[in-house]
Structures are given as structure tokens and as C-alpha cells.
Amino acid sequence: MWTRRQLEDLLDSRVVVFDGAMGTQLYDQGYSFEVSLDALSLRAPLAVRRVHRDYVAAGASILTTNSFGANRLRLGATNLAHEVVSINQAAVAVARDAAADRPPHNRPLVAAAVGPLGQPMAPIGRLSRDEACAVFDEQIQALLGADPDLFVFETFSDLDELVLAARTLRTRAPDAAFIGFATFTEDGKTLLGHKPEEVVRTLVAEGAAAVGANCSVGPQGMEEVFERMSRVRDARLIFSPNAGLPRVVDGRFVYVNSPDYFAGWAKDMADRGARGVGGCCGTTPRHIELAVAAVGNRSPAPLQSVAMPLSGTVSDCGDSAVFTPSPQGQQVSQWQGSAFERKLAAGEFVVSVELDPPRGVEGERLVRGALQCLQAGADAINIADSPMATARMSPLALAMLIRRQVAIEILLHVSCRDRNMLGLLSETMGAHALDIRHLLCVTGDPPSVGDYPGTHAVFELDSISLLRVLEGLNQGRNANGKTLRFQTDFRLSCAVNPTAEDLDREIDRFHEKQEAGARYALTQPIFSLDVLDRFIERARPQIPLLIGILPLRNARHAHFVHHEVPGMVVPEAIRKRMELAGEQGPEEGVAIAREFLAEIRPHAAGTYLMPPFNKFEMAVDILKK
């Protein structure tokens, strides 16, 4: 088994050419796509070996095994789930035998192919993380037992699933070499909205020797994906597109992309810095033969794109941190922020900290606060929309001030209080254009409670109808149901209050919010695990919950929250602790919050820290180990 370093050294020394399509070649031999093509490694090894040998003769440097869909779930569709081990090990053996057609010094490597599970993972689907991990583990163990040279995870449209597969391999073989391929649509993103540069950074961090894209589109369709992936400095990139789009001729799929055209694309990719090229659906041994001739025995060229720095840098200076911002006007890429989303989908505990926009025009203190929260372990920053109806800086403006300097996800609150339908659409589409994807839809506090009580509220929509409108944009339709020329990919969330006076109504509205498109929920502050357990038992949420935690400043603050804030309850025991703390109230409030944070971890998807009066230092103290 090759190590990551060995494969990196190979890719640093010369451009490699992978093989082409397996399924298309088997289809051309007369095998139907309705049968398990993976099982042919065991049932019809000569047919599979013939394909491999054709690619060996074409000069391919790396053969991928016929095991793309050889997992328990996919094989189960043809009643072959009990043959996972034998099918996967046969796939490696057949490829190894074909590779032996060339002398040892020029023998192609055998890459064990692992594809997606064929069922969406939670929270989108019903397949839990543990179940998915078990399925990957079974296949990966079987492949390891046959001793391939490396692994190729290919054709993944869900980055979270791809990461899970890679981590499963690393658990079994920590230093094993692997390459990760995502598949992209014509708009340059995966089906679940992951960006090319995000895929590269994530997989390299997970230990991939190289990253790339395969399937879905033809060579030209890879152009934007290459351009965006190549922005990541020092990335080792490999691309294996389809031979264009297929046509159906006399009942059979025919790909019209010519081998000569494909070879020209392969040469161009090598000239522009790709470390490897190959083919997916519709490519043939002739495509690969001409690609090998076009690429030749060349050393890799530098990536021909403007590389983007990840962010500014943080350096330690005594007891404080000094932040060096990114170049003026350049925003931090979404890659870092979307770690929040990946963790949430994977069932890992997430932490969000709320910051309220300032009442003036200076936001630098809150930018520093966001940085300190990130360093303390926060995954996201919540930015409220003029809470308590007080006049404040635009939350979107503060979001961009933070994003220019701090690589952290932003959860932007959108209130229905101040804007009609047109205003809300304008605000949210602007946020989307500025790469803000996570929106917390709230109805908003009435102006009568704020500092301009004579102001007229709008409330044309409430949080539920706003969710429906934004989910419609995600589906490519406007609020009138008409088809749009664009689609958004907002990650929508909602608020819920487990201590509401009319809890039945609160739960009914919570269910409506889930149905309207909320993907996760953030609760109002609670102080008791019993309250959370009762709410979960009654509401039976179908989406992840981030539990609100409000660190108390002193006894006066505790009594104010309990007696004067509707729908919030501070247990008597906690109020007593705050009274006894006296001048040490902030420290005691942090201690109480840390205790409650430890209690809720097994019961929730994450926490939503709401430090009072923008005292973000309290959130930092709560998160300190």
C-alpha cells in the first residue's frame, strides 16, 4: 500500500494519466446497467479484465478497480449485499492481473475505487452517520484485504459523505494514499452546493494526496471547476470528465466527444498545471491512448491561476493575538465557514456565538470579538437584526466586516419587522451575492419595545412565510410560484422557544417552520436540562437543535431575565447562586453556562451562546478548555 507521501512524490515528478470508463465499456460488451456491473468482477472476470488490459495497452498510469458501487446498500438492490467482501477483493485481483501485462518498472498502479453509498445521509436523508460509516468500513476493509496501491473516492456530490469515507479509510490505514473526486454540475458546484475550492481545502486537510473532479460534465464543463480549484495554492489537481453528454441512438447510449478533442483537452490541462487526467463515462481506451501521447512524459507545470490566500494570519504576541488582515477588499472564502455545516450534518457538536451589530458606525471591536471566538473554538457567528427594535448597524454590513478578516461562518438574522416582500428579497439576494448562505428567519420584535416606539412596523411576512419564500428561491421559483432563471442555496434556520407560555402553539409553529424549509433550529435561552428534555419529548424535532445559552452577568441580570423577559425562566437555584456570587457575578455566570453546556452536549446538535451586552469575552471564557 502506497503512503500519501509516496503518491505526492509521484505526482510532483510527472503528470499521470488515469484509465477511462469501466461501466461504458462493459455496457458496450452487452452488459445491462440494470445488473450489478461491480459483481462482474466475480461473475465475469474476463470481461472486466479485458477492459483493464485495453487501458493498460493504451498507456494508463493508474487503473481504477471495478468496485465503484460495491457497497452493501448498492449491492443490496440486486440481492448481493452478502458478497461485499468477495466482489471487492475480486475487483482488485482482476485489475492487478491486468496491470501485470506491463513490466514491473512501468506497471500501472491499482487504485481501489469507492463511490457514494447511493442513499442521502441525514439530515437530508434517513441514513445516519453511524450507518454510513459502517457501510464504508465494510467495503474499505474488503479492499484493504486485497492490497491495492491506493484508494480513489470518486463521483461524490456530498462533500460530507466524501469526508466520512476518507476518515473511514484513515481509521483503518492512517497513512494510506488516496485521491478524492467530487462531481459538479454545470453551474460549477456540487449538487449540494459545495464549491470547488471548498472541496480542495477540505480534502487536503483530511489527508488526500490529490483532489479533483470527475463525471457529470465533459471537458469544457470542467473549465470553471479547474479555474476555481486552481486558486488554492500548491494543490495537486486531477480531472476525469465524461466524454461530453450522451445521446440515445437505437436504444443505446452514445458519447460523441472525439478522442482527438479529449486529447487536446488533456494536453491543455497538463500545460495549466494539472497533475493528472483521466476519463469517466463514455471515454474509451482510444481516448486514453491519445491523452497519454498528448501529455507525454512531462513534469508538472505550475498552476496557471491566481492563488487565493486562505485568510489573514494570527500570530501570538505575549498574551494577546495579533491579526494580519487579508488584502483590502478581499473576502475570506466560504470554505472555512462551511466547516460549521459539515460538522452539523455529520452530527458533531457545533458552537455559534451571537454578536449584536453596534449602535454606531464602528465595528472593529466586534471583528476582534469574532476572531477571539473563532480561536476559542466557535464554529459560527450569529449576527442579530436590530434586536429589541433598537437602531443598529446593518447586520449584513457587520457580516462583511467580519468576513473580510475572520474565516468563520456567518449566521445572519433576517427580521420581517422592517421590510416588505421587496425589501426582504433585496436583502437576502444581496446576502447571497456576498456569499452569506446561513439565514435565521425571525419575525422580529415590535418597534414599541425599542428606542423609536413611534416607528411603524411592516410585518408583511412572518418567519414562517419568509422561510417559504426563501425555500422557493432555493427551488428556483419566486413568491408567486413563477420559475426563475436562478436558484439560491440558502441554509435556512428558525428560532424556537422551549419555555413559551403557550407551548402548544409554539410547537405547532415550530413544525410549520420545519415544513417551510428550516434545516436547523436555534432555541431561546434555557437554563434547565429538564426543560430541554420535555420540549424534545413533546415537539419531536426533525431537524438539529442548537440550544441557547445566556451567561448571566449578576443577580440583577438574572432577575431581569426571569421576571421581565417574556417566555424566559431562570430557575430559583440559579438566581440564588448569582445572588451569593456578589461582585463575582460574571465569573459565576460563566461557570453556570459551562456546566449547562456540558449537560446538553449529549442531547443537542450544538449550542447558541448569547453573551449579554455584546460581552463576547464571556463566550470566550465559556469555551476555554
Of 539 and 444, the structure prediction assigns the larger pLDDT to 539
Q: pLDDT digits over 502-533, tens only?
A: 899 999 999 999 999 999 999 999 999 999 99
Per-residue pLDDT, 308? 35
Q: If 0-12 CB within 10 Å is exposed, 13-18 middle and 19+ buried, where does residue 448 land?
A: exposed
Per-residue pLDDT, 188? 79
pTM of the model: 0.52
The third-level CATH classification (topology) of the domain covering 4-295 is TIM Barrel (3.20.20)
Concatenate the DSSP letters of all residues of 174-195 into one string. Answer: TTB-EEEEE---TTSS-TT---
Q: pLDDT digits over 92-126, tens only?
A: 999 999 999 999 889 999 999 999 998 888 877 78
Of 344 and 165, the structure prediction assigns the larger pLDDT to 165
**What is the DSSP-derived secondary structure letter of residue 612?**
G
Per-residue pLDDT, 614? 86
Arithmetic mean of pLDDT, 192-198: 88
pLDDT range class, residue 575, cuts 50, 70, 90: very high
Handedness of CA 142, 114, 119, 335 (dihedral sign): positive
Per-residue pLDDT, 449? 55
Percent of the chain with pLDDT over 70: 90
The third-level CATH classification (topology) of the domain covering 349-623 is TIM Barrel (3.20.20)
What is the Cα–Cα distance from 614 to 612, expressed in whole angstroms?
A: 5
Give one word for 485, left, alpha or beta, with left for phi > 0 and alpha for psi -120 to 50.
Answer: alpha
Concatenate the DSSP letters of all residues of 89-145 into one string. Answer: HHHHHHHHHHHTTS-GGGPPEEEEEE---SSPBTTTSSB-HHHHHHHHHHHHHHHHH
**Average pLDDT, rounded, for the chain:** 87
Report which residue type is found at 564: E
Cell 470553471 belongs to which residue?
224
Beta-strand relationship, 313-317 and 320-324: antiparallel
Q: Which segment of 105-119, 249-263, 468-482, 610-624 scores lowest on mean pLDDT?
A: 249-263
Q: pLDDT digits over 131-168, tens only?
A: 999 999 999 999 999 999 999 999 999 999 999 999 99
Arithmetic mean of pLDDT, 15-35: 89
Concatenate the DSSP letters of all residues of 193-250 into one string. Answer: ---HHHHHHHHHHTT-SEEEEESSS-TGGGHHHHHHHTTBTT--EEEE--SS-EEEET
pLDDT at 328 over 60: no
pLDDT at 322 over 70: no
Q: pLDDT digits over 221-262, tens only?
A: 788 899 899 988 889 999 999 887 655 444 455 555 688 889
Each domain of the chain, given as residue ranges in start order, spans 4-295, 349-623
Arithmetic mean of pLDDT, 608-618: 92
Per-residue pLDDT, 194? 87
Instruction: Tell me, yes or no, if the two domains 4-295 and 349-623 fold the same way.
Output: yes
